[in-house]
Structure 1
Amino acid sequence: MFGIKKLAYQFGRAVGYTDPTALPQQVQARCQDCEGYREALVEACEAMLQIMQGNPAFTPPVNSAQHCECPKGTAPSEMFDKSLESVKGFWHDEEYEDLKRTLLRSKEDLELAQEELKKGENMFRKRTVKKANEKYEADLRALESFLTGTIPGQKIEHLKEIEAMMSEIQSYHEWVSSYCSPLASYKVTQPPNL
C-alpha cells in the first residue's frame, strides 16, 4: 500500500468518514480489567510504603527513592526488589501495551485493506485482505492468551507478595509493641513538690 493512500485513509478516519478501530467487547473488557488491576496494584504499593515510612505525611511515588530505614549496607529499594521486579511490567506497560498496540495496528491495516477491496476486487487485494485478516486474528489470539493466561498467574503471585509483605509489617509492629509494653506499665514517681 502506498503512503499517500494510507495517509488519506487515516485522515478520513480522523475526520469521521469511517468507523474508528474497535476491539471485540470481550477483549475491551479484559483490557479495562488489566488497566484497573494495574491502578489497584499501585495503590496497594503506596499503602504499604505509607505504613513503612517513619513520617506518614511523606508519601513518595511508588517506583522512586524511598526514605525508610533498612538493614545496614542495603538500600531501601532492595527491600522491595523482589516484589517490584515481578510487577515492573505493569508500570512500564511493556508486554501488554506492545500486544495491544500491535493488535490496533493490524486492525487498522485490515480495515484499510477492506476499504481498498471495496473499490475494486482483484487477486492482489483479496490476498492483502486475507493476510491482514490472518495477522489480526494472530494478534488477537496473542493478546487474549496474555490476558487469560499470564495475568491470572501474575495476580496470584502479586497476592502472595502482598500477603508476605503485610505479615512482615505485622510482625514488625508486634515486635515494637512487645518491646514498648514494659515501658507502658512503668510508673514514674511524682516529685513531692508537684
Structure 2
Amino acid sequence: MSEKKYIVEIADSTGHSVVEMTAPEIVEKATESDGSWIFVDNRLVNANELEDMDIATDSKIRIMPGIVGGLEEEPKYTVEVADSTGHSVVEMTKPELVETANTQGTWLFVDDKMVSATELQSMNIETSSRLRAMPGLVGGAEENRFTVEVADETGHSEILMTKPELIEHANNCQGTWVFVDNRMVSTADLAEIDLVDAQKIRLMPGLVGGN
C-alpha cells in the first residue's frame, strides 16, 4: 500500500514551492539541509517527532530550510516559540522570522512590541533583542470576546474585544497600560495569559502629545 501524501510548502531563498510528499520524503528533505525547520499546523516539530506523528492529510506542513554555505551567512537570532505544547527556543535568520510572522494567526514580538512581517523586514534587530513567536489557535470555535474597560481623557467606555484585537489595540497606542485583574501586563505577556477567568480587563492609554 502506498504511503499517504501531504501537501508541503517549501520556503527557501529562491521563494516558495508547493509539492506532494510522503512522511519519509518530508523527513529526508528536512534533514538534507542543516538547520531546516518543519512546521505542522504552525507547530515546530523535529524530524524524529515527525516520523512518529499521526498527521492529518489536511494539515498545513511547511519546511523552512536554513541557509547553506554562502559567502556571508545571515545572522541568527534566538527566538522563543510558544504554542499549545509549551515553549521551545530556536535560532532563526531574519528571512525566516519574516516567514514566521507571515503565518496566519502568528504574533511576533521584538522586545515586547508586536511587529508585522512588513515592519520586521525594515527593522534593524539587535542580536540581544528578545524575540517571541506565538502562533494563534488553529481551528476550533470563534475567538472569545472579552469586556474591556477603556479609560481615557474623555471618560470610560466598555467594548468587546478578542484577545488579538486587545493586543493590537494596546500595541498601536503608544504608552497604553493593560491591567488584568488589577495587574499590569505587557502586550507580549498578554498573548500568553488565559483571559477566560479574568474578572476585569482595563486599557488606560497614555497621554499623546500635549503641552
Give the alignment's TM-score, normalised by structure 1: 0.23
Larger RCO (CA under 8 A, 6+ residues apart): 1
Structure with the largest fraction of helix: 1
Q: Return the index of the structure with the highest Cα Rg.
A: 1
Structure with greater proportional strand content: 2
